[in-house]
Each structure stands twice: as structure tokens, then as C-alpha cells.
Structure 1
Amino acid sequence: MKGTIGTFQAVLLVVSAIFPTAIVVLPIIIGKYLEQDSPLAVIFSGLIGLGIAWLIGTIIKATGGEPFLGWAGRKISPIFAVVIGILLLQYYMDLTTNVLRVYVNFIKDNMLLNTPTAITAVIIMLVTLYMINRGIEAISRINSIVNLMLLMVIPLYLWGLTKHIDLHRLLPIFDHSAASLTLASLTPIGWMSEVSVLLFIAPYFKFPQKGTFIGVIGIGLVTLGMFVEILMTLAVFGPQYMKNIAYPIFSTISIIQVGRFIENLDVLFISYWTMSVYMKLAIFMFATVQCFKQTFHIRNDRPYIVALSIVIITECLYTWREPEKLNIFNEEGRIIIFLLFNILLPLGILIWTRIKEPVIKRKEYKT
């Protein structure tokens, strides 16, 4: 069913597509290069992210709510649409695998220490498949509720850390070079480019012409959330702590006590984060399925969803068995993939259609 996601719901889908893994992965990478200047990388990558959101929104507006690969095939070539569809399918499967592995590693390190990794991965994917089966409208409604929980946590988070803040830990400012800022910003820019998932969700928007607004507001909220998180972590623990601890956001929240009613705020935040990762998995799994349907012109996708899930679980268990390799790839290798599939590919398609369109009009005029 088309036209079932409101603008506000779509904005929150952008937030959930980026924020849950960004708050776990990015602080360590940014802190490694910039230390107390880390908030500068968030601002810089956020500005670039707004440009990427504008690009994706422009394409969505051009499609007019039409499926992305169908539009590309009509405007450029059906063969070209199939080729890029296969490439994007591999990309979204790999990205879903990455999210699944990050979540599995967190569960393994902090909660289910003795549970086999395969069991954890299968259970998480079964929950994700159930959400996919309910449709994107149901996912967006649940996602809105999950993000409202975050709005409840943020005021308590800021108020609870007030007595622990030492602004001297943020000094000296502008102490790092432009090269360090660039290196620290590359990976966050890659994460911001995940806004391109809107290309496969846009056919379900009530107002596809608001694609740019949805992307820009979503990226703005993610940037604000990342800025606050990194700033507070630096002010409470300092730059050395942030770049050496695996999950700085959880350490920061764990020291907050709100009276006797809520002794530890980390319980609320972990509840939010757990649900938000499921939302992110559902969003990218949905994009994977949509990409598969549009590439191979499949109407009934249910027989294929299980097969796609098995491939994702297999890659999760065997390709990224060692967390160190996954961390290195997220820090150094994934930016190239993000740049290619989330920025250069959509930009190339948009330019190609803009160049080709006047040629077609001239031919029609002559005939």
C-alpha cells in the first residue's frame, strides 16, 4: 500500500536508520583523531550530511513516489537498473549484516555472555522478520513510539550529568589540525549518508515531494544527538576516556542516579537502544527486500525473505567473526562503500537523468 507514512514518521525513520549504531561506533573513532575537539567533527559531518540529504530528497522529488529502480530503468535503461539493483542489493545486505553483528557483539559482551552467537543472531533476525511481515507502516508507528522514549530520557540525561561536568576537560579548543578534522569526519559522513535508505522507503510516503525536508530534518536531529552525546562524554570523563572505552554512552549514563524512583538511568536508555537497533535492522532489511523486488520484478517477496535472512545471518557469523576486523572495517573501509553507493551513485544517476532529459525532449520536439 502506498502513501502510508507521514512526514514526522519518515523523519524518525531517518533518525533510527543512523543514530542507534552511530552513538556506539563513532565516538571512539572521532575521539581517536580529535580528542577534546571531537564535537567539531560532528558539526562538519552534519553539514555534509545535510548536502547528502538534499541530494536524496531531490531524487525522491524527481521520482514522484515511483520506485527508485523502476524510475531509473525508465529514465536511463532497464539493463542499467538491473545492474545497479544487484549492486545495491549486495550493499544493503552487507549493511544489514553489519548492524546485526554490532548488536550481537553488544549482547555477547554485556548481557548473554554464555549464549552461542548463532542463537542470538537467529533470534534477533526472527524478530526482525516479524516486523518486516507487518509492513513499513507498522514499523514506522512502532519507531515513533521508540523515539518518544528517547525524548523522555534526554532531559534526565542532561540534568543528571550536570553535577559531573567539568568544562576544563573541553580545553584547549581548536588544538588539532585540519587533517585530523578531515580524518575524524570521514566515518561520520559515511554514517550520515545512510539517509539514502529513503530512496526505497519513499514510495510509501504520503508526501514524496517533502523528501528533502524529511532527510534534512532527520540528519539535523542525528547531528544534534551525536553532538550532545560526545560533548557530555568529554565534559564528564575527558578525551582519553572516550577514545579508549568501547561503549562511552553507556558509561556516561550509568553514573546518573535520579533519586530512589529511578536509581540508574542506564536501564531506560538500554531499553530504548535495544528497541532502536531492532528498528534499524527492520528499516534496512525492508530496504533490502524492496531492492530485491524492484531489481528482479518480484511481486510476492515472502518466499525470498527467508533466503535473504539466511544469507545475512551466515555473513554475520562467519565474515565478521572477529570484532577487531569489524571495527577496522567500520573505521577505514566502510567510508569507501558509503561514498560509492550513498553519494556517488545517486549523484551520477541524477546528473545522467538531467543531461538525458533535454535530449529526449529535443527528439520529441523534432518528431
Structure 2
Amino acid sequence: MNGKIGTTQAAMLIVNTILPTATVVLPVIIGNYAEQDAPLAILLSTLAGLVFATIVGTVIRYSNGAPFLTWIGEKSSPVAATILGLLMLQFYLDTSATILREFVNFIKDNVLIDTPVTVMTILILLITIYMVRQGLESIARVNTLVLLLYFFFVPLYLFGLYRDMDVHQLLPVFDHSLASLTLAGITPATWMSEVAVLLFLAPYLQNPQKARIAGWAGLLFVSVLMMFSLVTTLMVFGSEFIKLSTYPGFSTAGVVHFGRFIEKLDILFISYWVLSIYLKFSIFLFATVECFKQTFRVNSNRPFTGALGLIIALECLFTWQSADQLNLYNKEGRFPVFFLFNVLVPLAAVLLHLLRKPRSKPKGWKT
């Protein structure tokens, strides 16, 4: 069921690993710090993301696509790998739960207002479990088709907005200090660090040596789309609206119209976003199951997918009941946790490999 995926497919998976929740959460956070200079914060976070992708790609190149925790066990000890696996499993369970909660909150606020949260959570989870059981190759194929739809939606979006955009809303430029831009760039850099999911997708890459290329390509595409979303929103509404609106990107989509006969196209863009967030959730659930499999050294993940999904659903329902708490976590609490597991752990793996790498013997050395 889990066939190999190519470098291009891996890059496209990275796009939908980051973009769906980032476009919903980040504009408000970045806008509060950088306002019309928000695109500069995206540039700073992209540079950080490329460094993160380099670190993760280096780990995969050194391990040649071996299961991450198995490779760590060989380089250090099985006990250390198990402890790290348990910590990372908790991290992926928490991350998947927050993704599910953001998904549910958005649907609850914009589409199914009267539907109970529990019902939406169960339905989303069942569909995602089915997707994960089809294997990573199937997820990657569907993901490719969904991303190709950007070639339809982006021109439609621009054509429907061009009369409402005012370039003067982007002025003045460079009006914020480097400290403000750095604060604005920290949170998007956190999302860029999600490229580390490649650590658990590595065994399914056709060419693990090109993992860095996949990470770089995916992050650059994410950066362009995030920049596009922010700039168009700023040009339509201005920087003050971004700070006040819960979902400024979708408010901009609600403005899209063609004359007086086609309007209210925001439901079309919301439908597309739902496809994307399903793929993001399935990628993280797959990584969670893969982390569990490597930690406990089991051969098949099928019996455990439903159980892990149930844990994620329970955490989604009972840990993140308050949207304000989730927003505060996204703004302030996510960075240290993501930096630890998505950046410092891969960096430590690189250093471990270099320290454990056998040194070449000088010429003339005799045993």
C-alpha cells in the first residue's frame, strides 16, 4: 500500500503540510506586528525555513532514507531511540490534534454553524483514517491533483479582485523596525519548520538524497503563495483589517465577483481549502503512525491507526475547547516546541552522525 514517491511529489506534500493552516492563522499574527510590512516577515521566515530544510535533508541523506528512529538507535542506543520516539510521538499527537481543532473551528465558524463539534470531529477523523490506510503514495497522488487546481483558482481570484485592489495600501514600506519584523517572522518560521515531517516520510522517498531539494522547493512555493495571499488582502482591505479579522484571506475571497451575475465565490475557495486541510491532516496522521511504528518496532501500522486517531480526537475535543487558548498557543507557545523537535532534534542527529562517523586512517597506518 505504501509505494515510493518521487521528489516532486514530496515537495508538493510539503506545500500542503504547511500552507492550509498557515494561511488561516498567520495573517492575523503577522499583521499585528508588521502591518503593511508583513511580506518582509514572510521573506525572513522563508530564509529560516530553507536552513531548516537543509538540516532535515542532511539527516535523510546521511541515513539514506532509513527509518529515522531506527537510524538514531544504530547511531546511539535503542534505549535513547525509544525515549526520543516517545517524545516525538507526543509531539505529533499534539500537532495533529491542533490541526484537527483548527479545521473544526473554521468549519464551525464559516460553514456548519449549528453542527455539534463532536460530530464534525468524528466525520473528519474517519475520512482521514481512510486516506491514511490507502498509503502515502495515494495521498501524494491526490495531493498533486489538488495543488494543480491552483492554476485555476489563482487567475480566478486575481481576475475577480483586480478592481478592488489598491497598491497604495502597501505603503509606506520599511516602516517597522527589525525587532518588529523579527517578531512577525518567528511564527511563520515555526510553520516552515514543519518540513521536518520529511524525517518520517523518508523511507518512502524514491531518492532520499534529494530530500533537501524537495524541502527547498516546497518551502519556496509555500512562501510565494503566502506572500500572494497577504499582499492581495493588504491591497483590498489594508493593514488594519488584517489585525481585526479572524480569517482575512477568506474575507478577501468573499469580495471576488464577476460583474453583477456571479458573486459570493468564497464558498468555492473554502471548498478548495477543505481539500487541502484534509491532506495536511492525513500527512500528519501518517507521520504520527509512522513514529509509533518506529518507536515500538511494529511491522504493521493498520491496527494502530484508529487508536491513534481516537487519541487525537479526544485531545482535540478536550484540550483545545477554547479558540482563544489555541490562538495564544499558535502565537506564543508553538515556537519553542516546534523549534525543539523540528530543528534541534534533526540538528542533534547531524552532529551525532558526524561524531560517530569513523575517521579515515592516515597512510601507512598498520593494524
Give the corresponding residue for 1:7. Answer: 7
Give the corresponding residue for 1:224. Answer: 224
Moved more, 34-43 or 266-275: 266-275
Q: Secondary structure at the match of 1:164?
A: coil
> Quick check: 2:161–2:257 contact (8 Å CA) kept in 1?
no
Deviation of the 1:170 alpha carbon: 1.1
Deviation of the 1:165 alpha carbon: 1.4
Q: Which amino acid aligns with 2:61?
A: K
Give the corresponding residue for 2:56. Answer: 56
CA distance in 1, matches of 2:164, 2:260: 19
Moved more, 252-261 or 173-182: 252-261
1:264-283 pair list within 5 angstroms: 264-283=264-283
Q: Which amino acid aligns with 1:208?
A: P
CA distance in 2, matches of 1:262, 1:202: 45
Where does the alignment leave 5 or more consecutive residues of structure 2 unmatched? none
Against the structure 1 CA distance between its residues 240 and 302, is the aligned structure 2 distance closer, same or farther, given a 3 Å change threshold? same
Give the corresponding residue for 2:239. Answer: 239
Moved more, 259-268 or 246-255: 259-268
Deviation of the 1:264 alpha carbon: 3.9
Paired residues in the alignment total 365
Deviation of the 1:262 alpha carbon: 5.2
Q: Which amino acid aligns with 1:253?
A: A
Give the corresponding residue for 1:135. Answer: 135
Give the corresponding residue for 1:101. Answer: 101
Is 1:339 matched with 2:339?
yes
CA distance in 1, matches of 2:48, 2:130: 35
> Quick check: 1:258–1:264 contact (8 Å CA) kept in 2?
no
Q: Secondary structure at the match of 1:163?
A: coil
CA distance in 2, matches of 1:300, 1:225: 37
CA distance in 2, matches of 1:76, 1:261: 66
> Quick check: 1:3–1:207 contact (8 Å CA) kept in 2?
no
1:18-57 pair list within 5 angstroms: 18-57=18-57
Give the corresponding residue for 1:308. Answer: 308
Give the corresponding residue for 1:84. Answer: 84
Q: Secondary structure at the match of 2:163?
A: helix
> Quick check: 1:43–1:223 contact (8 Å CA) kept in 2?
yes
Give the corresponding residue for 2:186. Answer: 186
CA distance in 1, matches of 2:178, 2:251: 30
Deviation of the 1:276 alpha carbon: 0.5
Q: Which amino acid aligns with 1:19?
A: L
Deviation of the 1:271 alpha carbon: 1.6
> Quick check: 1:187–1:330 contact (8 Å CA) kept in 2?
yes
| Cα deviation digits, residues 73-130 of structure 1 (max 9, x gap) | 1122211111111111011111000000001001111111111111110110000000
Q: Secondary structure at the match of 1:107?
A: helix
Give the corresponding residue for 2:296. Answer: 296
1:141-152 pair list within 5 angstroms: 141-152=141-152
| Cα deviation digits, residues 179-236 of structure 1 (max 9, x gap) | 1111111110000000000111111111111101000000000000001110111111
CA-based RMSD: 1.7
Task: Quote the sequence identity (%).
Answer: 50
Q: Which amino acid aligns with 1:67?
A: P
CA distance in 2, matches of 1:244, 1:184: 16
Deviation of the 1:259 alpha carbon: 5.1
CA distance in 2, matches of 1:49, 1:351: 19
CA distance in 2, matches of 1:187, 1:366: 55
> Quick check: 1:60–1:199 contact (8 Å CA) kept in 2?
yes
Give the corresponding residue for 1:258. Answer: 258
Deviation of the 1:263 alpha carbon: 3.6
Give the corresponding residue for 1:123. Answer: 123
CA distance in 1, matches of 2:60, 2:366: 30
CA distance in 1, matches of 2:110, 2:156: 23
> Quick check: 2:62–2:353 contact (8 Å CA) kept in 1?
no
Moved more, 3-12 or 328-337: 3-12
Where does the alignment leave 5 or more consecutive residues of structure 1 unmatched? none
Against the structure 1 CA distance between its residues 202 and 366, is the aligned structure 2 distance closer, same or farther, given a 3 Å change threshold? farther
